Chain A
Amino acid sequence: MTPAGHLAGLAATDPMVDAADRVVGRTRYAIDVEVPGMAHAALVRSPVAAGRILAIDGEAARAMPGVVRVVSGADLVAAGLAGVRFGTMQKDQPILATESVRFAGEPVAAVIAESAVEARAAAAAVRVEIAETAAVFDADAALAPGAPLVHEWRADNLLGRWHAAHGDLDAARGAAARHFRHEFWSPAAQQASLEPHVCLARWEDGRLEAWTTSQNPSRVAEELARIFGLAPGGVRLHVPPLGGAYGGKNHAKHEPLVAFLARLVERPVRLANWRREEFVTVTKHPARVLVESGIDGEGRLLYRTARLRWSGGAYALSSLAVVRAGGLAVLGPYRIPAAEVESVVAYTNLPPAGSFRGLGVNQAAWAGEQQIDIIARELAIDPVEFRRRHLVRAGDRLWTGEPAGDVHWLECLEAAVADLDRTSPGPRGGAPPPPAGGDSDAIRRGRGVAVALKHTITPSRSDASVALLADGSVEVRTSAVDMGQGVSTVLARLAGRVLGVGLERIRSVLPDTAVTPFDATSSSSRATYAVGEAVERAATDLLVRLAEAASAALGVAPERLTRDGDRLTADDGRSIDGATAVRAAGAAELVGLASFVNEPFVDPDTGVPVSSSHWHQGAVAVEVAVDVETGVVRVERAHGAAWAGEVVSAAGARLQNEGNIVFGLGPTLFEELAFDDGRAHPLTLMDYRIPSIADLPVALTSRALEAEPGTHRERHGLGESLIPAVAPAVGNAVAAATGVRLTELPLHPERVLNALRARPVAHDGVDSPRGAGGRS
């Protein structure tokens, strides 16, 4: 085989900046970083969900080969750090459990050894004595009076509550001709990055330097400075490219502990989770969602309400954002005259639940978007048509009463449905056709759609600098984390576009808090939007600096210069390129600086505060094949459309959109993290199945919809626009195929089969999402 010439051509049109290194493993992740004198840590974890630590006996472990030190809560006490609590949203997590344990898997001790293997072996020899106490594993149980307390300072286990209401709900209830009430359940799941959490820390001259797998280096650096009493510059955090994150690497995890260990033994220390430890480090919130809706005689939605209960686990992580995100999203992007949502997250004795791609909107949409389908079917209205009638359009308000802003759900829905029609052509309103060769008698086919709305974090701040170096190269410096979403490519392109400089001269620098400026977080699908805008502004600022330098070098006023890329030409014909201008200024580099801040604002026309500076908008249409003899659900076709505003990298947009759908199939069809007395299982990727190429639908397409060129094209991130719609679209399709509505995830064969047996498959009269006869 020889390299194909046309492939080189393809790469030239839409390259990801570091493709050649990534595909052959030359990319260096946090686990590849080594520093001289490095020791390795392994954690000893609580076997029980709640209890008081009576004793930690490290004697046997200390005698084992290679062991440097066994560390427990007593060492924190000695260091005066036992009372420290960390967490971005709620300071509730100890560096290491000292008196109480709050979930099975909570670290209670650490062993430091010369090698990771020795540290593991010795950790297994640490004897832990814990007096087990009563525990609570479910949100409703935790919120009930008299429940065991997860934290002694929180008497009701209430971690967070979000509530909003708009319109005259009593009047709407009174006027409604029909009422609908349904409850849905989403279990815990795990983000399952192939790269685990890794942190390496070292101290030099009282300053802390660490390499870590974090989605928000700026915030984690702040947290470490606070914990260890350092000046802001006293912490230097590096974040190499992440081998996947999906929300799981949001917020501090092991960084405070590893920094403490390194300080204690006066050596660099690295901690890398084993796969099984990932399942107890961060999870997806289990959620129970009750949705009620009422319609009038014409089939119009009069009201919708929802009650969401989230199990937050023992520590907050991003729970406060999750209750709000899910609460805002649960009723959908529809015109609803009266509405109310109460969203509550409880502390429970489970591993901490945190951000999971979709941030709570997945659990919310699984409920809200299935109920929309149920209502449409009850009314014998095509569910696509029912959505068309109710989706907010330009000038409409969301259920919260706020202006919906720049809305495109209808376009997303029509595009996704049209693409499904295109790949599975059948009579409109009729049954999807079986594949060539036909289906077995056991196969039932059905189609389903769903839409999703998700806020983006508001307020937030991103700073950026763009530097032109003396060799003519350009560095884009931000603390945006490169985690596979292609942000290095996006930022380099945006800078290049402003500067008129080719991509081959531009490098996006990885986060290094000593070099790269503040960024709130690489989550909430905000990097392209927020950091991208900051980079464009910084590049624009750099052009001002460049014009000043060129003006001085050529001895002409800036207004007499014209620019072509980074070459400036005076009106007398003399010119200077960027590199020469830098050197002429006697500088190593010229730097442009800028910030982007999105802030909460009050809509000027209505006076109503707006919840999100813009909304992520998406729709998914699927066709499923359900084997009614085995209960196996196969998603055969999946088509998504998300609002992008403007696409910076077509390949990146496609990867993000299609990745949303593929990732979304996991929690829809088979991913579930279960707990037995609070102990998580399964703990391996053999048993915790994530989607493989075998699960890939035979047809999968996506669209990233853009505003008209020449109009204001605000860029939207695409990291999470489609994933919330995947599960409800599949649930709706399964209902269309079989007549059976499943309210609990995942849709694994046992659950599907049990549901089918409880209610035998109808042989006619089953509606498709388009109307009658959606089953073949």
Chain B
Amino acid sequence: MTDPIRLQVNGRSVDVAVDPLTPLRTVLGELLGLRSVRMPCGVGACGACTVLVDGRPVKGCLHPVGLAAGRTILTAEGLPPDDPVAAAFAARNAFQCGFCSPGFVMAVHGLLAEDRAPDDATVRAALTGNLCRCGSYPLILEAVRELAGEGGAGR
């Protein structure tokens, strides 16, 4: 067996004894029970497994857990209760079935960390890897515009 891999997940230190090539999503969603990290496609197409590794969005189904060793991982479970991105998605009703929503919320966090006031084209480019089969994109775009507007207002 390989040496345990130490991860910082949602503010807690966790050791997992798995092959370093194990997808991060398998570790988070199945071993650690973080159910917001879903895996509808398993091939990096849908983004429902998006989590932040050191603040950058990665697709958990493709990202080997070994690459996350020692790094800080944030899933939707680790967001504070007053998380502004989640609040904007909820307030705008930017979801339908919700299966994809945590992945979108984390992807938007990644985007806003890079660009606090993205224009529509930037938002579209950043979220192209997250799929919503219900087709809630117009309201998702509105939610992100609102957050971007706040970023643009100088906060």
List residues of chain A with CB under 8 Å of any chain B CB: 1-4, 7-8, 10-11, 14-16, 19-29, 32, 192-196, 241-244, 246, 274-275, 483-486, 651-652, 654-655, 658-663, 684-686, 690-694, 696, 700
Partner of B82, one of A2, A685, A692: A2
**Cα distance A27–B75 when bound, in Å?**
15
Interface string of B28-57 (1 = CB under 8 A from A): 000000011110111111101000000000
| Chain B interface, DSSP helix/strand/loop, else mixed | loop
Write the B83-98 contact mask toward A (1 if CB under 8 angstroms, else 0): 1111111111111111
- Could you tell me if B146 and A7 are in contact, using CB atoms closer than 8 angstroms? yes
CB of B135 closer than 8 Å to a CB of A: yes
| B1-9, B65-73, B120-128: which lies at the interface | B120-128
Tell me whether B131 and A692 are in contact (CB under 8 A).
yes
Q: Write out the residue numbers on chain B whose beta carbons fall within 8 Å of the beta carbon of A32.
A: 35
Question: Which residues from chain B contact A29 at a C-beta distance below 8 Å?
Answer: 99
Contact residues in B for A28 (Cβ distance below 8 Å): 35
Cβ of B99 and Cβ of A194 under 8 Å apart? Answer: yes
Give the distance in Å from the alpha carbon of A696 to the alpha carbon of B127 in the complex: 12
A-B contact pairs, 26 of them (CB 8 A): A1-B112, A1-B150, A7-B87, A7-B92, A8-B87, A8-B91, A10-B91, A15-B93, A19-B89, A23-B90, A24-B77, A24-B101, A194-B40, A194-B97, A194-B131, A195-B99, A241-B97, A243-B98, A485-B96, A652-B93, A655-B134, A655-B139, A662-B138, A692-B131, A693-B123, A696-B141
**For residue B45, which residues in chain A have a CB less than 8 angstroms away from its CB?**
684-686
B90/A244 in contact, CB under 8 A: no
Task: Judge whether A192 and B133 touch: CB under 8 Å.
Answer: yes
| Complex contact B133–A246 (CB within 8 A) | yes
User: Within 8 Å CB of A14, what residues of B?
Assistant: 93
A24 touches B102 (CB 8 A): yes
> How far does the alpha carbon of A538 sit from the alpha carbon of B133 in the complex, in Å?
34
- Cross-chain contact B105 with A484 (CB below 8 angstroms): no
Q: Does A23 lie within 8 Å of B86, measured CB to CB? A: yes
Choice from B75, B92, B101, B135 contacting A22 with Cβ under 8 Å: B101
20 additional contacts (CB under 8 A) given A1-B151, A686-B44: A4-B84, A11-B91, A20-B86, A23-B76, A25-B102, A27-B98, A194-B46, A195-B99, A196-B40, A241-B97, A244-B133, A275-B43, A486-B96, A651-B139, A658-B135, A659-B134, A662-B137, A685-B40, A686-B45, A692-B127
**How far is it, in angstroms, between the C-alpha of A654 and the C-alpha of B93 when the chains are bound?**
10
Query: Could you say which of B43, B99, B132 contacts A685, with CB atoms under 8 Å apart?
Result: B43
* Residues of the B chain whose Cβ atoms lie less than 8 Å from the Cβ of A1: 84-85, 112, 147, 150-151, 155
A694 close to B36 (CB less than 8 A): no
Determine the distance from Cα of A349 to Cα of B82 in the docked complex, in whole angstroms: 53
Contact A25/B35 with A1-B155, A193-B133, A243-B99 known, Cβ cut-off 8 Å? yes
Set of chain B residues within 8 Å of A19, measured between Cβ atoms: 89-91, 93, 95
Do B36 and A693 have beta carbons less than 8 Å apart? no
Q: Does B140 contact A (CB under 8 A)?
A: yes
A521 to B30, CA, bound (A): 33
CB of B17 closer than 8 Å to a CB of A: no
Q: Tell me which residues across on chain A come within 8 A of B102, comparing CB atoms.
A: 23-25
**A700→B99 contact, CB < 8 A:** no
Q: Are B131 and A690 in contact (CB under 8 A)?
A: yes
User: What residues of chain A lie closer than 8 Å to B96, measured between beta carbons?
Assistant: 244, 484-486, 655, 659
Nearest 4 pairs of A and B residues by beta carbon: A25-B36, A484-B97, A662-B135, A243-B99
Query: Smallest Cβ distance from A90 to chain B, in angstroms?
Result: 28
CB distance from A9 to the nearest CB of B (A): 8
Contact B95 A275 (CB under 8 A): no
Question: How far does the Cβ of B148 sit from chain A's closest Cβ, in whole Å?
Answer: 11
Q: Which residues of B contact A658 (CB under 8 A)?
A: 135-136, 138-139
Bound: A692/B129 CA distance, A = 8
Q: Could you say which of B75, B86, B141 contacts A693, with CB atoms under 8 Å apart?
A: B141
Given contacts A32-B35, A242-B97, are A693 and B89 in contact (CB under 8 A)?
no
Q: Considering the chains assembled together, what is the distance between the CA atoms of A15 and B141 in angstroms? A: 18
**Distance (whole angstroms) from the CB of A136 to the closest CB of chain B:** 31
Given known contacts A193-B133, A194-B133, A659-B136, A693 and B98 CB-to-CB distance under 8 angstroms? no
Q: List, in ascending order, chain B residues with CB within 8 A of A3's CB.
A: 82-84, 87
B14 at the interface (CB under 8 A from A): no
Chain B nearest CB from A683 CB (Å) reads 10
* Across-interface contacts of B150 in A (CB, < 8 A): 1, 4
> How many whole Å from B108's CB to the nearest CB in chain A?
11
Q: Which A residues lie within 8 Å of B101 (CB)?
A: 22-25
Query: How distant is A624 from chain B, measured CB to nearest CB, in Å?
Result: 18
Q: Nearest Cβ in chain B — how far from A409, in angstroms?
A: 23
Task: Give A292 to B85 CA distance when docked, in angstroms.
Answer: 53
B21 CB within 8 Å of chain A: no
Given contacts A11-B91, A24-B79, A684-B43, contact A244 B137 (CB under 8 A): no
Question: In the complex, what's the smallest C-beta–C-beta distance from B17 to chain A, in angstroms?
Answer: 16
A22 contacts B98, C-beta separation under 8 Å: yes
Q: Is the CB of A696 within 8 A of B138?
A: yes
Query: Is B27 at the interface (CB under 8 A from chain A)?
Result: no
The interface residues of chain B lying within 8 Å CB-to-CB of A662 are: 135-138
Which residue of chain B has its CB nearest to the CB of A698? B120
List A contacts of B93 (CB < 8 A).
14-16, 19, 651-652, 655
Q: Which interface residue of A194, A483, A663, A691 has the most chain B CB atoms within 10 A?
A: A194
Query: Which residue from chain A places its CB closest to the CB of B139 in the assembled complex?
Result: A655
Q: A194–B38 contact, CB under 8 A?
A: yes
Residues from chain A with a CB closer than 8 A to the CB of B131 are 194, 685, 690-692
In the bound complex, what is the Cα–Cα distance between A651 and B95 (angstroms)? 10
Known: A659-B135, A691-B135, A692-B128. A4 touches B87 (CB 8 A): yes
Chain B residues near A652 (CB, 8 Å)? 93
- Considering the complex, give the chain B residue whose CB is closest to the CB of A116: B30
The reply to whether B124 and A696 form a contact with Cβ atoms under 8 Å apart is: yes
Q: Which residue from chain A places its CB closest to the CB of B36 in the assembled complex?
A: A25
A246 to chain B, nearest CB (A): 7
Contacts A10-B92, A243-B99; A686 near B41 (Cβ below 8 A): yes
B24 CB → nearest A CB, Å: 16
Q: Is the CB of B38 within 8 A of A25?
A: yes
Determine how close the nearest CB of chain B comes to the CB of A138; give it in whole angstroms. Answer: 28
**A663: B residues at CB distance < 8 A:** 133-135
- For the complex formed, measure the closest distance between the CB of B153 and the CB atoms of chain A, giving whole angstroms: 10
B35/A693 in contact, CB under 8 A:
no
Q: Which residue of B lies closest to A684 (CB)?
A: B43
A22 to B76 Cα, complex, angstroms: 11
Asked whether B58 is an interface residue with its Cβ less than 8 Å from the other chain, the reply is no
Name the residue on B nearest A695 (C-beta).
B137
Chain A residues contacting B36 (CB-CB under 8 Å) are 24-26
Q: B140 to chain A: which residues have CB within 8 Å?
A: 693
For residue B18, give the distance in angstroms from its CB to the closest CB of chain A: 12
Interchain nearest-CB distance for B20 vs A (Å) = 17
A686 near B43 with CB under 8 A, answer yes
Contacts of A693 in B (CB 8 A): 123-124, 127-128, 130, 132, 137, 140-141
